[in-house]
Amino acid sequence: MARQAYEMQNSWQTKSKDSEQLKHQTIHIKGIPAEDRTGNGLRILLDRYLAERGGHTMAVQIVPPFNKMIEIETRTRDLKYIQMLTLSSE
């Protein structure tokens, strides 16, 4: 049981070290063109830059601007409510 506990503790430490290492190798970029929704253009650009320095891109993750999406959805909902009110008053 002690060996199992040691192995479990060691595996947790390895995972946390790996995640810490990834944090140091992660960059956040804002303002990607709308045409590059998949991130392929960004990946090519990063690979060119990193190839000169002996590195490579592990992954590209595109996160949409959720705050703008929520704002648009709120405005759309408000417009629907106004339309419903005007139609019901007629």
- pLDDT tens per residue, range 67-78: 788 888 999 999
- For 15-77, give the DSSP string: HHHHHHHHHHT--------TT-SSSHHHHHHHHHHHHTTT-----------HHHHHHHHHHHH
Categorize the per-residue pLDDT at 12 as very low, low, confident or very high, splitting at 50, 70 and 90: low
Distance between CA 31 and CA 47 in Å, rounded?
A: 18
Cα R_g (the chain), whole angstroms: 24
Mean pLDDT of the chain: 78
Please provide the distance, in angstroms rounded to a whole number, between the alpha carbons at the two ends of the chain: 76
What pTM was computed for the model? 0.47
- Write out the residue range of the structural domain in which residue 69 sits: 2-89
The letter for the amino acid at 30 is K
Per-residue pLDDT reduced to its tens digit, 22-64: 556 777 777 777 788 788 888 898 889 888 988 888 888 887 7
How many structural domains comprise the chain?
Answer: 1
